[in-house]
Structure 1
Amino acid sequence: MSEEKLRDKTLDFIIGEMVDTVTNSRDEIFTIGEETRTEFEKLNKELIETKRQVLAFIEEGDKLEQKVRLSRMRLSEVSKQFQKYSEDEIREVYEQTHGLQMDLSMKREKEKQLRERRDDLEFRLKNLDETIHRAEALGGKISVVLNYLQEDFKHVTDALEDAKEKQKFGLQIIEAQEDERRRLSREIHDGPAQMLANVMLRSDLVDRTYRERGVDEALQEMKNVRKMVRSALYEVRRIIYDLRPMALDDLGLVPTLKKYLATVEEYNDLTITYTSFGKERRLESKYEVALFRLIQEAVQNAIKHANASTIHVKMDMNYEAVKIIVKDDGDGFDPSVKKDKSFGLVGMRERVDMLEGELTIDSSPGEGTIVTISLPINS
């Protein structure tokens, strides 16, 4: 057996062991997440009931406090004019007042216990919610790695020349995936997650405001909560759009691309021009997704790596092929020099090759870059 085949066999064995280990870890994390979610739902129901009981005891306590006040006034009146009342009447008033005071004291104590239980439940729910989110995030990352180990890496094994290059390419894939997930994790944590946490706090404030300051201020606080919910919804929709624009399925490639380029132009304070030739029409989903992602990658490379201030995007669509040209006035680079962090270009070539297209990159240091993509359209 040759040394190369021995390396491949050893690597396949290692990958198999990794797949088994990662699969078991994913299943354990999934079980932990489900158990935590069940506990969260159970405690959340208990919290709702506890809050209801707290409000009920507050209302009953306030009514009982009014009765105690009236009974004390009656007792004071009897004490001042005890000669007008019989001993039984005096005893009855005294025992009634004492009984009401005892009931009030017990209700206030029960109310205090319920408040403490409510606070404890809220604290535990917060911790459980964080655990659920961590489990989901970790499970998602492990699923990505598992999918890579089960499918993508097997294809790479056949394509690359030796085990060393396979390992390097595989690590680039994982690194790119992890970078993207870290970015999404930061966006969700700093955006919707923070907003929803504030909504929870403000919702408790609405209840307190209603009891302490009245309906008008409580309604104003509710308006503020609605604004926060609306902002959180906007952030979630923006993140979903980054993952996969829903307009791509509904409106098609060209309208979605125009909207994307306009958003990128506004957000990054640069100039992006778009020119379309030929008759605009809908394509099969795989072509529309591929073309959108290829243009997206080319534009992002021009912004992030080339420091471009002007980008021109041209698309020529006919019934046999689609040709895309993305030209920028950025720093440029030497395409013949292979870079460690060039997975974006590798991914573009992979996507174009899958659709039997052609990708050419014309660039030199200080002269900008021209990316040309040609995809044949299978009618």
Structure 2
Amino acid sequence: MTLKTGEKAIDYIIDEMVRVVKSSKNEIFNISEHARHEYDTLQIELEETKRLVLQYINEGDSLERKVRASRKRLAEVSKEFERYTERDIHQVYEDTHNLQTELIMLREKEENLRKKRDDIERRLISLYDTINRAEGITSKISVIENYLEEDFSQVNELIESAKEKQAFGLKIIEAQEEERRRLSREIHDGPAQMLANILLRSEIIERSLNQESVEAAVAEIHSVRKMIRTSLYEVRKIIYDLRPMALDDLGLIPTIRKYIGNLIDYHDIEIDFVVIGEEKRLHHKYEVALFRLMQESVQNAIKHADPKLIQIKLQIQRENVVMIVKDNGKGFDVNIKKEDSFGLVGMKERVDMLSGDIDIKSELNAGTTIIIRVPYIITD
């Protein structure tokens, strides 16, 4: 009875956390959209204000020339007062006064528009910063939301006791791998097949258009076909990243070789893979964990270190499996903890769940070496 009550309490807490996170995400999204709308409106207003400022500047410059000419005329009249009638003198004074008044008013409008322009530009900078911060927060909240919904959706079924932490962690990994397998099948049977069909149809259209010599249309179809091929490659790459099917069929070592081959084709980089010991299959959960650890290590190197060479060594020993991933990239200071370093944290958690240890050695401009050692009894 106490256990069921505790499970209900945990469910309530998780549901409430998910609800609050979703609500906060929606509120921040609304703030971001409102700010973006205001930003677009102000951009239009800024362009119009700049146009008016330029217009007033040109009109003011023209009016100043008229004022100078009128003043010159006034000086001439004043100098030779007796040559002009009273009406002429009055008209010259009045014209000069009117022009000066008009110029003052125009310059005042110009100054007000300049202040308005500067104020709009300051507001745009503030709104741009608000939009960026809102999008950043939304992205982080999405990570939290996914973590709560995916990793803790079956927490009560997995937690049996505090002593079963290792088994609990391995079950989470297995659940994640099952989800990747499902997504891989869905994408393979859906988007990938659809893109292949579109490619086939484009070839049929090309043949039809060729008969009528519509060269421009044919050229456009060539371009579309190239984009479709690229999309098809990307979808299949996503499928492979989600769940390499070769891992189930062939095992860890052939899958690593295939994965490395794909990376070499996609990136301008040299990757060496060496296996020491008997090439035999390991237990499924160890193959999955070691592949993901290798994948995360290599992806981190490519993404952050810009290396020319990555070396992967897998040692299958009698009582241990050791994996070493070394690159000659930029390296980093291991004593400085970076924010949002979820990749390394996830690697450490995977290794802990297998009762293994991970050692990360790196120096700036000297590359990085990751050594993973997992206990595993090889049976004859």
| C-alpha separation in 2, matches of 1:329 and 1:43 | 51
Long gaps (5+) in structure 2: 174-229, 238-258, 276-288, 315-321, 328-343, 362-368, 375-380
8 A Cα contact 2:46 2:121, kept in partner? yes
Cross-structure match for 1:369: 371
Label 1:76 to 1:259 Cα distance change in 2 as closer, same or farther (>3 A). Answer: farther
Amino acid across the alignment from 1:94: Y
Deviation at 1:118, TM superposition (A): 1.0
1:25 is aligned to 2:29: no
Aligned-residue RMSD, C-alpha: 4.8
Aligned counterparts, 1:91-110, within 5 A: 91-110=90-109
Cross-structure match for 2:264: 258
For the residue of structure 2 that corresponds to 1:154, the secondary structure is: coil
1:274 is aligned to 2:238: no
For the residue of structure 1 that corresponds to 2:272, the secondary structure is: strand
Aligned counterparts, 1:209-358, within 5 A: 249=234, 257-258=263-264, 273-274=271-272, 295-299=294-298, 311-313=310-312, 327-328=324-325, 343-346=346-349
**Superposed CA offset, 1:191-230 (max 9, x none):** xxxxxxxxxxxxxxxxxxxxxxxxxxxxxxxxxxxxxxxx
**Superposed CA offset, 1:78-108 (max 9, x none):** 1111222211111111111111111111111
Label 1:29 to 1:364 Cα distance change in 2 as closer, same or farther (>3 A). Answer: closer
TM-score normalised per structure 1: 0.52
Label 1:26 to 1:162 Cα distance change in 2 as closer, same or farther (>3 A). Answer: farther
Cross-structure match for 1:49: 48
Deviation at 1:365, TM superposition (A): 11
Label 1:370 to 1:273 Cα distance change in 2 as closer, same or farther (>3 A). Answer: farther
1:113 is aligned to 2:112: yes
Amino acid across the alignment from 1:113: N
Report the number of matched residues: 246
Cross-structure match for 1:228: none
Cross-structure match for 1:205: none
8 A Cα contact 2:348 2:358, kept in partner? no
For the residue of structure 1 that corresponds to 2:311, the secondary structure is: strand
| C-alpha separation in 1, matches of 2:261 and 2:103 | 68
Label 1:360 to 1:249 Cα distance change in 2 as closer, same or farther (>3 A). Answer: farther
8 A Cα contact 2:351 2:357, kept in partner? no
Aligned counterparts, 1:199-210, within 5 A: none
| C-alpha separation in 2, matches of 1:291 and 1:261 | 22
For the residue of structure 2 that corresponds to 1:29, the secondary structure is: helix
Deviation at 1:152, TM superposition (A): 2.5
Label 1:44 to 1:301 Cα distance change in 2 as closer, same or farther (>3 A). Answer: closer
**Superposed CA offset, 1:56-80 (max 9, x none):** 1011101111111111111111111
Amino acid across the alignment from 2:263: L
Amino acid across the alignment from 1:66: R
For the residue of structure 2 that corresponds to 1:10, the secondary structure is: helix
| C-alpha separation in 2, matches of 1:47 and 1:74 | 40
Aligned counterparts, 1:64-143, within 5 A: 64-143=63-142
| C-alpha separation in 1, matches of 2:359 and 2:41 | 62
Deviation at 1:274, TM superposition (A): 2.8
Deviation at 1:114, TM superposition (A): 0.6
8 A Cα contact 1:247 1:256, kept in partner? no
| C-alpha separation in 2, matches of 1:259 and 1:247 | 15
TM-score normalised per structure 2: 0.52
| C-alpha separation in 2, matches of 1:302 and 1:46 | 46
Q: Which deviates the most, 252-261 or 78-87?
A: 252-261
For the residue of structure 2 that corresponds to 1:49, the secondary structure is: helix
| C-alpha separation in 1, matches of 2:373 and 2:266 | 18
Cross-structure match for 2:278: none
| C-alpha separation in 2, matches of 1:107 and 1:342 | 64
Label 1:326 to 1:365 Cα distance change in 2 as closer, same or farther (>3 A). Answer: closer
For the residue of structure 1 that corresponds to 2:115, the secondary structure is: helix
Label 1:41 to 1:50 Cα distance change in 2 as closer, same or farther (>3 A). Answer: same
Label 1:329 to 1:292 Cα distance change in 2 as closer, same or farther (>3 A). Answer: closer
Q: Which has the higher Rg, Structure 1 or Structure 2?
A: 2
